[in-house]
Structure formats: structure tokens, C-alpha cells
Chain A
């Protein structure tokens, strides 16, 4: 595997389900990011981890819970989501949080029914 990978690529979940998104980067980077991309809106930064420590929570609702066990892996745990949470969720990484060149994974297309 190379670059940034994400699983699953597509996810349909009900409002009462619990699911997790997984991201793995093979670039030797130390910072990882979760973004939300909705139609007609700019990319929205959700969370930032730098050397496994969360450095940014961009006022994200608590139904989204990130986890970063090491610099290569990032999870986004989802529970009791709303239909408006349906979007493309993108993981990205960079050398560290002060390096702005970010590399994105393929994303998870989430649909909440």
C-alpha cells in the first residue's frame, strides 16, 4: 500500500448505528487530519492530530469521535448520526502540523438514512 488509504470506501448507516472509519498513511508523516466535504461547500476541517496528540477540534459534534493510536492510523467513530452528516469524509496527512502540504486519502462516502 502506498500513500493514504481509507476504509470503507462507501458506508450506509442508520441513525442509531455505530460505525468507524479507518485511515492509514504510509508516508512516514506525523500529522493526520479528518475533513468533511459536502456538496457546494468548502472542505471543512474536523480534527487534527500531531504526533498522536489531538491539536484541533473544529467544534465538531460529539457524535463524531476521533482516535489516533499512532502516527500512521486514524479512526473516526460514528454514532447516532443525522441525515445532514451524509458527506464525503476525507483523511489527510502531512509531515507535521506546521507543514501545510497535505495528502489526501480516497475518502469514505457516508450516507445516513
Chain B
């Protein structure tokens, strides 16, 4: 059973701080990794994808990937109250299955 693990939170940070969201996965052959943001009562929205080891930056968001450790993270700099949401980590299942496996998500609250 391929698994994606996230701390359920809630993770609470003050406005302006860095929020760090973590995800580990079990399938060593996975090559593609995604972060989705889901506001309460809304559907998931793709915000970052990462395929290579290292960091990928997009505005205030940085995704970090370490395939050797089977670990992917999302950093949100200068956190804003509007970043308050559940963040879902999704991992490609590997091989020819062509499926995404999602974690349960981490609830982030940014306090003004």
C-alpha cells in the first residue's frame, strides 16, 4: 500500500512568519510531487509541482524535494491570513499506474 504521510496539524503561525509543511512518501520510484491548497468548503487547487531534487521557488512558495529521504516540503514565506487552508501533498504512484496518492492534508492557520 503506497502511502503519503502529512502532519494533520493544525499548524499555527503568526502573520509574516515562515510556514513549513512536510510530507513523506513510501514509494521509492515516485518521480512527480505536487502541493494542493484547499480552502474550507472548496476544492483542491494545484499550487506547486516538483520533479527534481532540490528547491523550486514560485513567489512566496518554495517546494523542496529529497528523493533519497523520500521527503517533500512546502515553505510559505511571509505567511498571510489568506494562506489559511489545508495543504494536500500528492505523489505520483510510480510505474504504469498513472495515479496520484494524496495525503490527508495539513491544516494551516495564519494568525493576524
Contact = CB atoms under 8 A, between A and B. Distances in A.
A43 B102 contact: yes
B43 A107 contact: yes
Interface stretch (A59-67, A77-85, A93-101): A93-101
Interface in B60-112: 88, 90, 92, 98-105
A40 B86 CA distance: 12
A103 B45 CA distance: 7
B88 A105 contact: no
A101 B104 contact: no
Interface in A3-40: 40
Contacts of B88: 43
Instruction: Say what secondary structure dominates the interface of chain B.
Output: strand
B32 interface: yes
A104 B45 contact: yes
B42 A101 contact: no
Instruction: Say what secondary structure dominates the interface of chain A.
Output: loop
Interface residues of B, number: 21
B16 interface: no
Contact of B99 (A45, A101, A103): A45
Interface centre among A43, A98, A100, A106 (most CB of B within 10 A): A100
A105 B4 CA distance: 23
Interface centre among A41, A88, A102, A106 (most CB of B within 10 A): A102
B25 interface: no
A101 B46 CA distance: 8
A98 B45 CA distance: 19
B49 interface: yes
5 contacts: A42-B4, A48-B99, A90-B44, A101-B46, A101-B49
Interface of A: 40-43, 45, 48, 55-56, 88, 90, 97-98, 100-107
Interface of B: 4, 32, 34, 36, 42-46, 49, 88, 90, 92, 98-105
